[in-house]
Protein backbone atom coordinates (compact mmCIF):
# COMPACT_ATOMS: atom_id res chain seq x y z
CA UNK A 1 0.00 0.00 0.00
CA UNK A 2 2.02 2.97 -1.20
CA UNK A 3 -0.17 5.53 0.59
CA UNK A 4 -0.19 3.79 4.00
CA UNK A 5 2.37 6.00 5.81
CA UNK A 6 0.50 9.14 4.63
CA UNK A 7 -2.84 7.81 5.83
CA UNK A 8 -1.44 6.59 9.11
CA UNK A 9 -0.76 10.20 10.08
CA UNK A 10 -4.49 10.96 10.30
CA UNK A 11 -6.84 9.33 12.79
CA UNK A 12 -9.98 11.37 12.12
CA UNK A 13 -11.65 10.20 8.91
CA UNK A 14 -13.12 12.24 6.05
CA UNK A 15 -16.55 11.65 4.49
CA UNK A 16 -17.25 13.27 1.11
CA UNK A 17 -20.60 13.67 -0.64
CA UNK A 18 -20.71 12.93 -4.36
CA UNK A 19 -22.91 14.84 -6.78
CA UNK A 20 -22.94 16.53 -10.19
CA UNK A 21 -19.44 17.97 -9.61
CA UNK A 22 -17.96 14.60 -8.66
CA UNK A 23 -19.13 11.85 -10.97
CA UNK A 24 -16.30 10.72 -13.22
CA UNK A 25 -13.55 8.27 -12.34
CA UNK A 26 -10.71 10.81 -12.40
CA UNK A 27 -12.44 13.17 -9.97
CA UNK A 28 -13.54 10.48 -7.52
CA UNK A 29 -10.05 8.98 -7.60
CA UNK A 30 -8.54 12.40 -6.94
CA UNK A 31 -10.80 12.82 -3.88
CA UNK A 32 -9.78 9.41 -2.53
CA UNK A 33 -6.09 10.17 -3.04
CA UNK A 34 -6.58 13.54 -1.34
CA UNK A 35 -7.90 11.78 1.74
CA UNK A 36 -11.53 10.61 1.49
CA UNK A 37 -12.26 7.49 3.55
CA UNK A 38 -16.03 7.26 2.98
CA UNK A 39 -18.12 8.49 0.06
CA UNK A 40 -21.72 9.59 0.65
CA UNK A 41 -24.47 9.01 -1.91
CA UNK A 42 -27.30 11.45 -1.19
CA UNK A 43 -30.59 9.80 -2.16
CA UNK A 44 -32.43 13.13 -1.78
CA UNK A 45 -31.03 13.87 -5.25
CA UNK A 46 -30.26 11.85 -8.34
CA UNK A 47 -31.61 8.61 -9.75
CA UNK A 48 -30.83 5.03 -8.89
CA UNK A 49 -28.84 4.85 -12.11
CA UNK A 50 -26.75 7.85 -11.00
CA UNK A 51 -25.95 6.24 -7.66
CA UNK A 52 -25.19 2.85 -9.22
CA UNK A 53 -22.72 4.48 -11.60
CA UNK A 54 -20.93 6.30 -8.78
CA UNK A 55 -20.90 3.12 -6.69
CA UNK A 56 -19.17 1.27 -9.54
CA UNK A 57 -16.57 4.03 -9.89
CA UNK A 58 -15.84 3.99 -6.13
CA UNK A 59 -15.27 0.25 -6.19
CA UNK A 60 -12.90 0.61 -9.16
CA UNK A 61 -10.99 3.36 -7.36
CA UNK A 62 -10.84 1.22 -4.22
CA UNK A 63 -9.27 -1.62 -6.19
CA UNK A 64 -6.72 0.72 -7.74
CA UNK A 65 -5.66 2.21 -4.40
CA UNK A 66 -5.64 -1.10 -2.55
CA UNK A 67 -7.42 0.10 0.58
CA UNK A 68 -11.01 -0.18 1.85
CA UNK A 69 -13.34 2.70 0.98
CA UNK A 70 -16.74 2.93 2.67
CA UNK A 71 -19.98 4.04 1.01
CA UNK A 72 -22.83 5.76 2.87
CA UNK A 73 -26.31 5.67 1.30
CA UNK A 74 -28.12 8.62 2.89
CA UNK A 75 -31.88 8.24 2.48
CA UNK A 76 -34.07 11.33 2.35
CA UNK A 77 -36.55 10.75 5.17
CA UNK A 78 -39.97 12.41 5.44
CA UNK A 79 -39.97 15.81 3.79
CA UNK A 80 -42.76 18.05 5.07
CA UNK A 81 -43.71 20.86 2.71
CA UNK A 82 -46.45 23.43 2.13
CA UNK A 83 -48.49 23.32 -1.07
CA UNK A 84 -48.31 25.82 -3.91
CA UNK A 85 -49.49 29.40 -4.32
CA UNK A 86 -51.61 30.85 -7.12
CA UNK A 87 -48.81 33.28 -7.96
CA UNK A 88 -45.96 30.96 -6.92
CA UNK A 89 -44.88 33.19 -4.05
CA UNK A 90 -46.30 35.41 -1.27
CA UNK A 91 -44.91 37.84 1.28
CA UNK A 92 -45.81 37.15 4.93
CA UNK A 93 -45.67 40.09 7.32
CA UNK A 94 -44.86 39.78 11.01
CA UNK A 95 -48.01 39.90 13.14
CA UNK A 96 -50.32 38.82 10.32
CA UNK A 97 -52.63 35.80 10.58
CA UNK A 98 -51.90 32.88 8.23
CA UNK A 99 -53.95 29.70 7.88
CA UNK A 100 -52.66 26.22 7.07
CA UNK A 101 -55.26 23.65 6.00
CA UNK A 102 -55.87 20.50 3.97
CA UNK A 103 -57.61 22.31 1.07
CA UNK A 104 -55.49 21.70 -2.07
CA UNK A 105 -56.62 24.99 -3.64
CA UNK A 106 -53.54 27.16 -4.44
CA UNK A 107 -52.75 29.53 -1.61
CA UNK A 108 -52.45 33.30 -1.21
CA UNK A 109 -51.31 35.82 1.41
CA UNK A 110 -53.79 34.48 3.98
CA UNK A 111 -53.63 30.68 3.60
CA UNK A 112 -51.95 27.70 1.96
CA UNK A 113 -52.42 23.96 1.89
CA UNK A 114 -50.43 21.91 4.42
CA UNK A 115 -50.85 18.37 3.00
CA UNK A 116 -49.76 16.70 6.24
CA UNK A 117 -52.72 15.93 8.53
CA UNK A 118 -50.30 14.42 11.02
CA UNK A 119 -48.87 17.90 11.70
CA UNK A 120 -52.34 19.38 12.18
CA UNK A 121 -53.31 16.54 14.50
CA UNK A 122 -50.17 16.76 16.64
CA UNK A 123 -49.67 20.53 16.81
CA UNK A 124 -50.86 22.46 19.84
CA UNK A 125 -51.70 26.10 20.44
CA UNK A 126 -48.44 27.83 21.26
CA UNK A 127 -46.31 25.51 19.12
CA UNK A 128 -44.03 26.98 16.50
CA UNK A 129 -43.74 26.02 12.83
CA UNK A 130 -40.58 26.90 10.93
CA UNK A 131 -40.73 27.32 7.15
CA UNK A 132 -38.04 27.46 4.48
CA UNK A 133 -35.18 26.23 6.70
CA UNK A 134 -36.19 28.52 9.54
CA UNK A 135 -36.36 31.72 7.52
CA UNK A 136 -39.99 32.13 8.56
CA UNK A 137 -41.65 31.29 11.88
CA UNK A 138 -45.36 30.82 12.58
CA UNK A 139 -46.87 30.54 16.05
CA UNK A 140 -50.07 28.49 16.31
CA UNK A 141 -52.89 30.47 17.93
CA UNK A 142 -55.91 28.31 17.00
CA UNK A 143 -56.53 24.88 15.54
CA UNK A 144 -59.26 22.57 14.28
CA UNK A 145 -59.48 19.05 12.91
CA UNK A 146 -58.29 20.14 9.47
CA UNK A 147 -56.63 23.53 9.93
CA UNK A 148 -54.18 25.61 11.93
CA UNK A 149 -54.43 29.35 12.40
CA UNK A 150 -51.07 30.96 13.03
CA UNK A 151 -49.55 34.33 13.71
CA UNK A 152 -46.47 35.22 11.69
CA UNK A 153 -43.64 35.63 14.21
CA UNK A 154 -40.91 35.99 11.61
CA UNK A 155 -42.00 37.14 8.17
CA UNK A 156 -40.56 37.01 4.69
CA UNK A 157 -41.17 35.56 1.24
CA UNK A 158 -42.72 32.08 1.02
CA UNK A 159 -42.90 30.16 -2.23
CA UNK A 160 -44.23 26.84 -3.49
CA UNK A 161 -43.34 23.61 -1.68
CA UNK A 162 -41.02 25.10 0.94
CA UNK A 163 -40.14 22.84 3.84
CA UNK A 164 -41.88 22.79 7.20
CA UNK A 165 -40.13 21.99 10.48
CA UNK A 166 -41.94 21.34 13.76
CA UNK A 167 -39.26 21.66 16.45
CA UNK A 168 -41.36 21.22 19.59
CA UNK A 169 -43.73 18.40 18.60
CA UNK A 170 -43.13 14.67 18.18
CA UNK A 171 -44.88 13.78 14.94
CA UNK A 172 -46.49 10.34 14.55
CA UNK A 173 -44.67 9.62 11.31
CA UNK A 174 -42.02 6.99 10.59
CA UNK A 175 -38.47 7.99 9.70
CA UNK A 176 -38.67 5.82 6.57
CA UNK A 177 -41.06 6.73 3.75
CA UNK A 178 -42.02 4.45 0.87
CA UNK A 179 -39.33 6.18 -1.18
CA UNK A 180 -36.78 5.56 1.55
CA UNK A 181 -37.65 1.87 1.70
CA UNK A 182 -37.18 1.54 -2.06
CA UNK A 183 -33.93 3.51 -1.94
CA UNK A 184 -32.68 1.47 1.00
CA UNK A 185 -33.44 -1.84 -0.72
CA UNK A 186 -31.64 -0.64 -3.85
CA UNK A 187 -28.60 0.54 -1.87
CA UNK A 188 -28.39 -2.71 0.10
CA UNK A 189 -28.46 -4.69 -3.14
CA UNK A 190 -25.61 -2.52 -4.45
CA UNK A 191 -23.55 -3.48 -1.42
CA UNK A 192 -23.08 -0.26 0.55
CA UNK A 193 -21.65 -0.15 4.08
CA UNK A 194 -23.89 2.35 5.89
CA UNK A 195 -27.48 3.55 5.61
CA UNK A 196 -27.92 7.15 6.72
CA UNK A 197 -31.26 7.36 8.56
CA UNK A 198 -32.79 10.85 8.40
CA UNK A 199 -35.13 12.73 10.75
CA UNK A 200 -35.08 10.17 13.55
CA UNK A 201 -37.33 11.12 16.46
CA UNK A 202 -37.67 7.91 18.48
CA UNK A 203 -35.72 4.72 19.18
CA UNK A 204 -38.42 2.85 17.24
CA UNK A 205 -37.26 4.58 14.06
CA UNK A 206 -33.82 3.01 14.42
CA UNK A 207 -35.23 -0.41 15.24
CA UNK A 208 -37.30 -0.36 12.05
CA UNK A 209 -34.26 0.47 9.92
CA UNK A 210 -32.19 -2.24 11.60
CA UNK A 211 -34.86 -4.82 10.80
CA UNK A 212 -34.90 -3.77 7.16
CA UNK A 213 -31.11 -3.79 6.89
CA UNK A 214 -30.93 -7.26 8.49
CA UNK A 215 -27.21 -6.91 9.09
CA UNK A 216 -26.36 -6.13 5.46
CA UNK A 217 -25.17 -2.63 6.40
CA UNK A 218 -24.59 -0.52 9.50
CA UNK A 219 -27.23 2.03 10.44
CA UNK A 220 -25.83 5.55 10.76
CA UNK A 221 -28.48 7.58 12.57
CA UNK A 222 -28.56 11.27 11.69
CA UNK A 223 -29.29 13.38 14.76
CA UNK A 224 -31.11 16.42 13.43
CA UNK A 225 -34.33 16.61 15.48
CA UNK A 226 -34.64 18.03 19.01
CA UNK A 227 -36.91 15.08 19.83
CA UNK A 228 -33.99 12.72 19.14
CA UNK A 229 -31.90 14.62 21.68
CA UNK A 230 -34.53 13.74 24.32
CA UNK A 231 -33.84 10.03 23.65
CA UNK A 232 -30.17 10.40 22.79
CA UNK A 233 -28.62 7.59 24.84
CA UNK A 234 -31.08 4.93 23.66
CA UNK A 235 -30.94 6.05 20.03
CA UNK A 236 -27.13 6.01 19.96
CA UNK A 237 -27.08 2.61 21.67
CA UNK A 238 -29.36 1.18 18.97
CA UNK A 239 -27.28 2.68 16.15
CA UNK A 240 -24.07 1.39 14.60
CA UNK A 241 -22.84 4.95 14.02
CA UNK A 242 -24.30 8.45 14.33
CA UNK A 243 -24.06 11.76 12.52
CA UNK A 244 -24.32 15.25 13.99
CA UNK A 245 -26.46 16.62 11.15
CA UNK A 246 -26.10 20.28 12.00
CA UNK A 247 -28.11 21.56 9.01
CA UNK A 248 -31.60 20.57 10.13
CA UNK A 249 -30.54 20.46 13.78
CA UNK A 250 -29.60 24.13 13.42
CA UNK A 251 -33.03 24.92 11.98
CA UNK A 252 -34.96 23.43 14.88
CA UNK A 253 -32.58 24.35 17.70
CA UNK A 254 -31.51 27.92 18.53
CA UNK A 255 -28.01 28.56 17.13
CA UNK A 256 -26.47 28.88 20.58
CA UNK A 257 -27.56 25.32 21.45
CA UNK A 258 -26.10 23.57 18.41
CA UNK A 259 -22.45 23.54 19.60
CA UNK A 260 -23.53 22.10 22.95
CA UNK A 261 -25.63 19.47 21.19
CA UNK A 262 -22.63 18.56 19.04
CA UNK A 263 -20.42 18.06 22.07
CA UNK A 264 -23.08 16.06 23.89
CA UNK A 265 -23.64 13.72 20.93
CA UNK A 266 -19.90 13.13 20.51
CA UNK A 267 -19.53 12.45 24.23
CA UNK A 268 -22.37 9.91 24.32
CA UNK A 269 -21.22 8.21 21.11
CA UNK A 270 -17.69 7.90 22.48
CA UNK A 271 -19.00 6.50 25.75
CA UNK A 272 -21.00 3.84 23.89
CA UNK A 273 -18.26 3.12 21.37
CA UNK A 274 -20.17 4.26 18.27
CA UNK A 275 -18.42 6.15 15.46
CA UNK A 276 -19.68 9.73 15.20
CA UNK A 277 -19.53 12.00 12.13
CA UNK A 278 -19.77 15.79 12.34
CA UNK A 279 -21.48 17.19 9.23
CA UNK A 280 -22.83 20.24 7.44
CA UNK A 281 -21.24 23.52 6.37
CA UNK A 282 -17.77 22.61 7.62
CA UNK A 283 -16.02 24.31 4.69
CA UNK A 284 -19.12 25.83 3.10
CA UNK A 285 -17.37 28.83 1.54
CA UNK A 286 -15.30 26.45 -0.60
CA UNK A 287 -18.36 25.69 -2.70
CA UNK A 288 -17.30 28.80 -4.59
CA UNK A 289 -13.87 29.74 -3.19
CA UNK A 290 -10.50 27.95 -3.34
CA UNK A 291 -9.77 28.51 0.35
CA UNK A 292 -11.92 28.30 3.51
CA UNK A 293 -12.59 31.03 6.02
CA UNK A 294 -10.58 30.97 9.23
CA UNK A 295 -13.80 30.33 11.15
CA UNK A 296 -14.44 27.21 9.05
CA UNK A 297 -10.93 25.93 9.69
CA UNK A 298 -11.56 26.41 13.40
CA UNK A 299 -14.88 24.57 13.11
CA UNK A 300 -13.16 21.51 11.64
CA UNK A 301 -10.45 21.70 14.29
CA UNK A 302 -13.06 21.90 17.06
CA UNK A 303 -14.71 18.67 15.84
CA UNK A 304 -11.30 16.97 15.88
CA UNK A 305 -10.57 18.26 19.39
CA UNK A 306 -14.00 17.05 20.50
CA UNK A 307 -13.03 13.53 19.43
CA UNK A 308 -15.23 13.03 16.36
CA UNK A 309 -14.47 9.90 14.38
CA UNK A 310 -15.03 11.69 11.08
CA UNK A 311 -15.81 15.07 9.55
CA UNK A 312 -18.02 15.40 6.48
CA UNK A 313 -18.22 17.51 3.35
CA UNK A 314 -21.59 18.01 1.66
CA UNK A 315 -22.20 20.68 -0.99
CA UNK A 316 -18.46 21.43 -0.99
CA UNK A 317 -17.74 18.25 -2.94
CA UNK A 318 -21.19 17.47 -4.39
CA UNK A 319 -21.69 20.70 -6.35
CA UNK A 320 -18.67 22.83 -5.45
CA UNK A 321 -16.09 24.25 -7.80
CA UNK A 322 -13.09 22.97 -5.81
CA UNK A 323 -13.87 19.45 -4.56
CA UNK A 324 -10.31 18.08 -4.55
CA UNK A 325 -8.91 21.21 -2.96
CA UNK A 326 -11.59 21.08 -0.28
CA UNK A 327 -10.69 17.51 0.69
CA UNK A 328 -6.98 18.34 0.66
CA UNK A 329 -7.47 21.34 2.96
CA UNK A 330 -9.69 19.38 5.35
CA UNK A 331 -7.01 16.69 5.46
CA UNK A 332 -4.36 19.32 6.24
CA UNK A 333 -6.43 20.86 9.04
CA UNK A 334 -7.10 17.48 10.65
CA UNK A 335 -3.49 16.32 10.47
CA UNK A 336 -2.21 19.59 11.86
CA UNK A 337 -4.54 19.34 14.86
CA UNK A 338 -3.51 15.75 15.47
CA UNK A 339 0.14 16.78 15.57
CA UNK A 340 -0.60 19.08 18.50
CA UNK A 341 0.25 17.97 22.02
CA UNK A 342 -2.87 19.67 23.38
CA UNK A 343 -4.98 17.46 21.12
CA UNK A 344 -3.24 14.34 22.44
CA UNK A 345 -3.82 15.40 26.04
CA UNK A 346 -7.44 16.15 25.18
CA UNK A 347 -7.89 12.61 23.86
CA UNK A 348 -6.44 11.20 27.07
CA UNK A 349 -8.36 13.39 29.52
CA UNK A 350 -11.67 12.89 27.70
CA UNK A 351 -11.34 9.12 27.73
CA UNK A 352 -14.55 7.55 29.07
CA UNK A 353 -14.48 4.99 31.83
CA UNK A 354 -13.76 1.46 30.58
CA UNK A 355 -16.80 -0.57 29.67
CA UNK A 356 -17.55 -3.02 32.45
CA UNK A 357 -17.17 -6.29 30.59
CA UNK A 358 -14.33 -8.49 29.38
CA UNK A 359 -14.04 -6.95 25.88
CA UNK A 360 -14.05 -3.45 27.42
CA UNK A 361 -11.35 -4.37 29.90
CA UNK A 362 -9.22 -5.90 27.12
CA UNK A 363 -9.57 -2.76 25.01
CA UNK A 364 -8.59 -0.46 27.89
CA UNK A 365 -5.60 -2.67 28.69
CA UNK A 366 -4.51 -2.64 25.04
CA UNK A 367 -4.41 1.16 25.04
CA UNK A 368 -2.41 1.32 28.27
CA UNK A 369 0.08 -1.37 27.21
CA UNK A 370 0.56 0.09 23.73
CA UNK A 371 1.36 3.47 25.30
CA UNK A 372 3.76 2.00 27.86
CA UNK A 373 5.64 -0.03 25.22
CA UNK A 374 5.41 2.65 22.51
CA UNK A 375 3.96 -0.09 20.32
CA UNK A 376 3.80 0.24 16.55
CA UNK A 377 0.17 -0.88 16.44
CA UNK A 378 -2.72 -2.50 18.18
CA UNK A 379 -3.85 -5.31 15.87
CA UNK A 380 -7.50 -6.17 16.46
CA UNK A 381 -8.78 -9.38 14.88
CA UNK A 382 -12.46 -8.76 14.34
CA UNK A 383 -15.22 -10.74 12.67
CA UNK A 384 -17.96 -8.11 13.04
CA UNK A 385 -15.83 -4.96 13.42
CA UNK A 386 -16.79 -4.51 17.09
CA UNK A 387 -13.36 -5.36 18.51
CA UNK A 388 -11.75 -2.65 16.39
CA UNK A 389 -14.43 -0.18 17.49
CA UNK A 390 -13.73 -0.98 21.14
CA UNK A 391 -10.05 -0.22 20.59
CA UNK A 392 -10.91 3.00 18.72
CA UNK A 393 -13.09 4.09 21.67
CA UNK A 394 -9.95 4.13 23.83
CA UNK A 395 -8.05 6.42 21.40
CA UNK A 396 -4.59 4.78 21.61
CA UNK A 397 -1.57 6.78 20.42
CA UNK A 398 -0.52 4.14 17.87
CA UNK A 399 -2.21 2.86 14.72
CA UNK A 400 -5.16 0.51 15.12
CA UNK A 401 -5.11 -2.32 12.60
CA UNK A 402 -8.57 -3.78 12.07
CA UNK A 403 -7.86 -7.24 10.69
CA UNK A 404 -11.00 -8.85 9.34
CA UNK A 405 -11.71 -11.77 7.01
CA UNK A 406 -14.19 -9.90 4.79
CA UNK A 407 -14.07 -6.84 2.57
CA UNK A 408 -17.45 -5.55 3.74
CA UNK A 409 -16.39 -5.33 7.40
CA UNK A 410 -13.09 -3.70 6.41
CA UNK A 411 -15.09 -1.07 4.51
CA UNK A 412 -17.43 -0.47 7.45
CA UNK A 413 -14.40 0.29 9.62
CA UNK A 414 -13.38 3.08 7.22
CA UNK A 415 -15.40 5.54 9.35
CA UNK A 416 -13.84 4.53 12.69
CA UNK A 417 -11.28 6.77 14.38
CA UNK A 418 -7.69 5.64 13.91
CA UNK A 419 -8.57 2.27 12.37
CA UNK A 420 -6.64 1.15 9.31
CA UNK A 421 -8.76 -1.78 8.17
CA UNK A 422 -7.19 -4.72 6.34
CA UNK A 423 -9.14 -7.55 4.77
CA UNK A 424 -6.90 -10.55 5.46
CA UNK A 425 -9.20 -12.85 3.51
CA UNK A 426 -11.04 -16.01 4.35
CA UNK A 427 -8.66 -18.14 2.34
CA UNK A 428 -6.04 -17.90 5.11
CA UNK A 429 -8.09 -18.43 8.29
CA UNK A 430 -6.48 -18.35 11.70
CA UNK A 431 -7.00 -21.35 13.97
CA UNK A 432 -4.89 -20.60 17.03
CA UNK A 433 -3.20 -17.72 18.82
CA UNK A 434 0.15 -18.46 17.17
CA UNK A 435 -1.29 -17.98 13.68
CA UNK A 436 -3.01 -14.79 14.88
CA UNK A 437 0.34 -13.42 16.09
CA UNK A 438 2.09 -14.37 12.85
CA UNK A 439 -0.55 -12.69 10.71
CA UNK A 440 -0.63 -9.52 12.84
CA UNK A 441 3.15 -9.12 12.69
CA UNK A 442 3.20 -9.79 8.94
CA UNK A 443 0.57 -7.11 8.25
CA UNK A 444 2.15 -4.56 10.60
CA UNK A 445 5.56 -4.96 8.98
CA UNK A 446 4.41 -5.57 5.40
CA UNK A 447 2.14 -2.51 5.28
CA UNK A 448 4.79 -0.23 6.75
CA UNK A 449 3.34 0.38 10.20
CA UNK A 450 6.30 -1.10 12.07
CA UNK A 451 9.84 -2.43 11.67
CA UNK A 452 12.00 -5.07 13.31
CA UNK A 453 12.10 -4.69 17.08
CA UNK A 454 8.75 -2.87 17.35
CA UNK A 455 6.13 -4.22 19.72
CA UNK A 456 2.64 -5.05 18.52
CA UNK A 457 -0.32 -5.48 20.87
CA UNK A 458 -2.69 -8.14 19.53
CA UNK A 459 -6.34 -8.42 20.56
CA UNK A 460 -8.54 -11.32 19.53
CA UNK A 461 -11.32 -13.60 20.69
CA UNK A 462 -11.29 -17.29 21.54
CA UNK A 463 -12.77 -19.43 20.15
CA UNK A 464 -12.06 -18.00 16.69
CA UNK A 465 -14.94 -17.25 14.38
CA UNK A 466 -17.35 -16.17 17.13
CA UNK A 467 -18.35 -12.50 16.93
CA UNK A 468 -18.22 -10.54 20.17
CA UNK A 469 -15.88 -12.90 22.02
CA UNK A 470 -12.94 -10.52 22.57
CA UNK A 471 -11.07 -12.04 25.49
CA UNK A 472 -7.40 -12.39 24.55
CA UNK A 473 -4.46 -9.97 24.56
CA UNK A 474 -0.95 -10.89 23.40
CA UNK A 475 2.23 -8.81 23.01
CA UNK A 476 4.67 -9.73 20.24
CA UNK A 477 7.76 -8.23 18.63
CA UNK A 478 8.41 -7.80 14.93
CA UNK A 479 11.49 -9.74 13.80
Catalytic residue of the set 11, 13, 29, 40: 40
Catalytic residue of the set 13, 29, 111, 222: 222
Integer Cα distance of 454 and 452 in angstroms: 6
Is there a catalytic annotation at residue 4? Answer: no
Farthest-apart Cα atoms in the chain, separation:
79
Integer Cα distance of 7 and 35 in angstroms: 8
Integer Cα distance of 72 and 196 in angstroms: 7
Is there a catalytic annotation at residue 302? Answer: no
> What's 413's DSSP letter?
G
Burial label for 26, CB within 10 Å (0-12, 13-18, 19+), is exposed
Integer Cα distance of 106 and 84 in angstroms: 5
Contacts of 475 (CB under 8 A, 6+ apart): 369, 373, 375, 455, 456, 457, 458
Is there a catalytic annotation at residue 474? Answer: no
The residues that bridge with 70 in the sheet, in sequence order, are: 38
For residues 196 and 184, is the Cβ–Cβ distance under 8 A?
Answer: no
Query: β-strands 470-477, 455-461: how paired?
Result: antiparallel
Catalytic residue of the set 7, 59, 79, 81: 81
Integer Cα distance of 272 and 217 in angstroms: 19
Is there a catalytic annotation at residue 345? Answer: no
DSSP H stretches of helix in 273-406:
294-306, 315-318, 323-338, 341-349, 358-373, 386-394
Integer Cα distance of 227 and 116 in angstroms: 19
Catalytic residue of the set 221, 280, 404, 470: 280
Active site residues: 40, 81, 222, 280
Amino acid sequence: MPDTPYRAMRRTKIVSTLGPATTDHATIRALAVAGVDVFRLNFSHGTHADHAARHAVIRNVEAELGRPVGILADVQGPKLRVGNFSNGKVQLSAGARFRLDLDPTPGNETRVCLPHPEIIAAAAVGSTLLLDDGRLALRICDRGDDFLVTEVALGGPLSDHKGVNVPDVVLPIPALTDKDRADMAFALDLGIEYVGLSFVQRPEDVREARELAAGRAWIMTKLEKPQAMDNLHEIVALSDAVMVARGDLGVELPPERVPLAQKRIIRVARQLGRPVVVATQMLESMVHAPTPTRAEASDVATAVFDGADAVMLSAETAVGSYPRETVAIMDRIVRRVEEDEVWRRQMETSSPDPQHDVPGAIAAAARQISSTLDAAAVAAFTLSGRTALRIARERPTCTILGLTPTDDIARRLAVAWGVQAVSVGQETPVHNIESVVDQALAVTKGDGYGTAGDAVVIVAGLPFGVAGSTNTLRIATIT
